[in-house]
Amino acid sequence: GAVVSQHPSRVICKSGTSVKIECRSLDFQATTMFWYRQFPKQSLMLMATSNEGSKATYEQGVEKDKFLINHASLTLSTLTVTSAHPEDSSFYICSASRLAGAFYNEQFFGPGTRLTVL
């Protein structure tokens, strides 16, 4: 159990276009979903925290108008990179959290989406 999928796994787009990435929890309901960005040989950088039915909470320095997050249901969150530029090229990873016991959260990660902006 606890499988998270992402789609697409890889996308190449032209500068100025928008790209949507989907994150789904396949066999559990996610109380919260998180979006991370990872540059080569670096750790995961949290971009935003997303709760179903409410606005996402963005980390400092992350432009909310550029990285639009929608969390429409307990199993689906989407990240839209608007007006993408080459500097947005990166590996984007989502994770989904479920309550395990009364107080503890486990997070399960999707396989990631490689975005290349030409």
Report the distance separating Cα 37 and Cα 28, nearest Å: 23
By CB under 8 A, tell whether 110 contacts another protein.
yes
Q: What six digits make up the tokens of 84?
A: 């993408």
Contacts of 101 (CB under 8 A, 6+ apart): none
Structural element, H or E, at residue 30? none
By CB under 8 A, tell whether 75 contacts another protein.
no
By CB under 8 A, tell whether 112 contacts another protein.
yes
φ and ψ at 85, to 5 degrees? -125, 165
By CB under 8 A, tell whether 104 contacts another protein.
yes
Contacts of 42 (CB under 8 A, 6+ apart): none
By CB under 8 A, tell whether 73 contacts another protein.
no
Taking CB under 8 A as the rule, which mask of x and - marks residues 27-66 in contact with another protein?
----xx-x-------xxx-x--x-x---------------
Residues that bind another protein (CB under 8 A): 4, 6, 31-32, 34, 42-44, 46, 49, 51, 93, 95, 97, 99, 103-112, 114
